[in-house]
Amino acid sequence: MAWDTTDTLGKGDVVSNESLANLLKEERRFAPPADLAANANVTAEAYEQAKADRLGFWAEQARRLTWAKEPTETLDWSNPPFAKWFKDGELNVAYNCVDRHVEAGHGDRVAIHFEGEPGDSRAITYAELKDEVSKAANALLELGVQAGDRVAVYMPMIPETAVAMLACARIGAAHSVVFGGFSADALATRIQDADAKVVITSDGGYRRGKPSALKPAVDEVIGKVDNVEHVLVVRRTGQEVAFTEGRDVWWHEIVERQSAEHTPTAFNAEHPLFILYTSGTTGKPKGILHTSGGYLTQAAYTHHAVFDLKPETDVYWCTADVGWVTGHSYIVYGPLANGATQVMYEGTPDTPHQGRFWEIVQKYGVTILYTAPTAIRTFMKWGDDIPAKFDLSSLRVLGSVGEPINPEAWIWYRKHIGADTTPIVDTWWQTETGAMMISPLPGVTATKPGSAQTPLPGISATVVDDEANEVPNGGGGYLVLTEPWPSMLRTIWGDDQRFLDTYWSRFEGKYFAGDGAKKDDDGDIWLLGRVDDVMLVSGHNISTTEVESALVSHPSVAEAAVVGAADETTGQAIVAFVILRGTANAEDDNLVTELRNHVGATLGPIAKPKRILPVAELPKTRSGKIMRRLLRDVAENRQLGDVTTLTDSTVMDLIQAKLPAAPSED
């Protein structure tokens, strides 16, 4: 999920020669700092070890965890692509993330430095975290949650969110975390699909200086679903909330009165750990299922290897939201399994001022920072002088995740945040992969701005052409994974056929990630963006179909086509073309604002189009298919591709003429 920014590929699209040439001209290399290389957790030998015995390599990484019953079989691939890793092993994920560190004598180590947006802070040690997770687990049991049940979590970025997830893991209930920025409709879909028994939420969280309510969305949803028995509510902001006696329960009342004693149960390595929903091209979100042993093995190993984590001395900070997979793997499970001390921040990087991130780095002496290119490009826009006001000398590893990072942003990150010495690990992975797959190693790799470079030890990834042949160095095609990996998704919740069709049907025997990619002359991998109709906005996958459906649900819209266009801040921006119903006025700017807000209310603010252009017609083929490729060309101000298949090619002339004047929400 971190790549060079180039044109997003559509099916059948070809990346411009100019884009490829620009990639090939990147000749800057940055060797690892000598002191880091000399003491690195993982050396170049790991690649050779994994190449010689891939399954033996992963069996060794599994031994970094504590098992109640040691696995004797590493991988069962007898029914591909349905993998079973460490299938006869048993463990408890929460025990691995909390209890074992206390038992090892590290109970006084800070697990989480929480920084609230209003400036409140608290430090939670591993011993305190163990007590909180145990009490929350007992509370869930009191509410009737059992192993195998599903629990929805709709929370702000506060420690109770991690506690709730770990409490679910402790008792064997799968959690389904829903990003707090999603609307009630999106929440309802996810609660219903997972058949969640309990919802854990909050009165709200703080965002941009004011409370942002969450409980009202849950209240709205409960009327649409019939499976939720209880709503567990954390008091964060003190906002007034509606409260239904018998159904709604205050966290501070039920959790605080529980015993801090809870003996974790060991579950099979393939026991479901969580479901996390990601956008699908058909519009309905896909419930990605991850299980316990393989997922935790790879999340913990990659966190240890890619960040060179030294838990005794490092202070780690991943700025993602727990509602996304980065927050699952690299805030909750990977870092805590490794006994890390980490920062958790509730708010936005510009509240109360644009130096808030750097103030936090300085305050806690952060040594490892993992953030998104969208944030980096925003910091660039705000100016070099802002980070220069703060002491960032503690930083020793910088990470990038979530979307393409262009070389200019990479260089700025290194120079202005990393003092031109700190290595950058540019990581590619997905909700579906569960953990990092392609990334430099900070003590091994001579890094290259804009490229995620090479598969990590134990990972088999390459680039293939349409016929599934591996492309030579300098060639482009599709990114595929050719061997199973421990943290791979096991299926799409409740829909094995969709799992097969979505990921395994394009190239026989290979997982197709949905991304276009290229190998440069050194064989390093450059990601070229999504090849399907999923847009990547600020690191969030958003389905074109969902946005189109939201637009068409407005009474003024008859038809809509949505594309992702390159954007220097968010990676991609949503651009919508709409055909209005007869009575609507295409010249009414207020209508455009109304449509934008309608999408935000339906899907969440992240899905609001940056530009909306009312048009008389959409470019369609004779079979009625909308040619989004041509709309992308217009949105990115490129020369139009082939228009010969259009029913009426003059449609594009009109759209090209009108788009520059269309209002944009910056």
- 71 is annotated as contributing to ligand binding: no
Give just the sign of the alpha carbon dihedral 331, 332, 338, 342.
Answer: positive
Helix (H, G, I), strand (E, B) or coil at 64: coil
- 106 is annotated as contributing to ligand binding: no
Residue 41 is given by DSSP the state S
Among residues 427, 532, 440, 516, which one has the least CA distance to residue 475?
Answer: 516
Is-contact 167 94, C-beta < 8 A? yes
H, E, C per residue of 314-330 = CEEEECCCCCCHHHHHH
- 429 is annotated as contributing to ligand binding: yes
Type of residue at 346: E
Helix (H, G, I), strand (E, B) or coil at 573: strand
- 332 is annotated as contributing to ligand binding: no
Chain length of the chain: 666
- 393 is annotated as contributing to ligand binding: no
655/640 Cα distance (integer angstroms): 11
Helix (H, G, I), strand (E, B) or coil at 479: strand
Give just the sign of the alpha carbon dihedral 503, 506, 511, 517.
Answer: negative
- 431 is annotated as contributing to ligand binding: yes
Is-contact 111 126, C-beta < 8 A? yes
Give just the sign of the alpha carbon dihedral 397, 402, 406, 412.
Answer: negative
- 326 is annotated as contributing to ligand binding: yes
- 251 is annotated as contributing to ligand binding: no
User: Going by C-beta distance under 8 Å and a sequence separation of 6 or more, which residues neighbour residue 145?
Assistant: 151, 168, 171, 173, 197, 198
317/297 Cα distance (integer angstroms): 21
Structure tokens at 305: 């290897």
User: Going by C-beta distance under 8 Å and a sequence separation of 6 or more, which residues neighbour residue 409?
Assistant: 373, 376, 377, 380
- 239 is annotated as contributing to ligand binding: no
Structure tokens at 601: 């209310």
Among residues 550, 596, 652, which one has the least CA distance to residue 588?
Answer: 596
Give just the sign of the alpha carbon dihedral 147, 114, 436, 366.
Answer: negative
- 190 is annotated as contributing to ligand binding: no
Residue 657 is given by DSSP the state H
- 401 is annotated as contributing to ligand binding: no
User: Going by C-beta distance under 8 Å and a sequence separation of 6 or more, which residues neighbour residue 598?
Assistant: 550, 551, 553, 554
Peptide bond into 373 cis (omega under 30): no
* Cα–Cα distances in angstroms (integers) from residue 92 to residues 100, 169, 303, 485, 491, in the given order: 11, 7, 19, 20, 21
- 207 is annotated as contributing to ligand binding: yes
- 530 is annotated as contributing to ligand binding: yes
Q: 274 - beta bridge partners?
A: 175, 290
- 428 is annotated as contributing to ligand binding: yes
Structure tokens at 94: 């929460």
- 538 is annotated as contributing to ligand binding: yes
- 430 is annotated as contributing to ligand binding: yes
Helix (H) or strand (E) holding 409: helix 407-412
Using CA atoms of 361, 364, 369, 372 in order, give the dihedral in degrees to the nearest 10: -60
Binding site: which residues? Answer: 207-210, 326, 402-404, 426-431, 515, 530, 538, 552, 554, 557
Q: What residues are designated binding site for CoA?
A: 207-210, 326, 538
Q: Binding site for ATP: what residues are annotated?
A: 402-404, 426-431, 515, 530
Binding residues for Mg(2+): 552, 554, 557
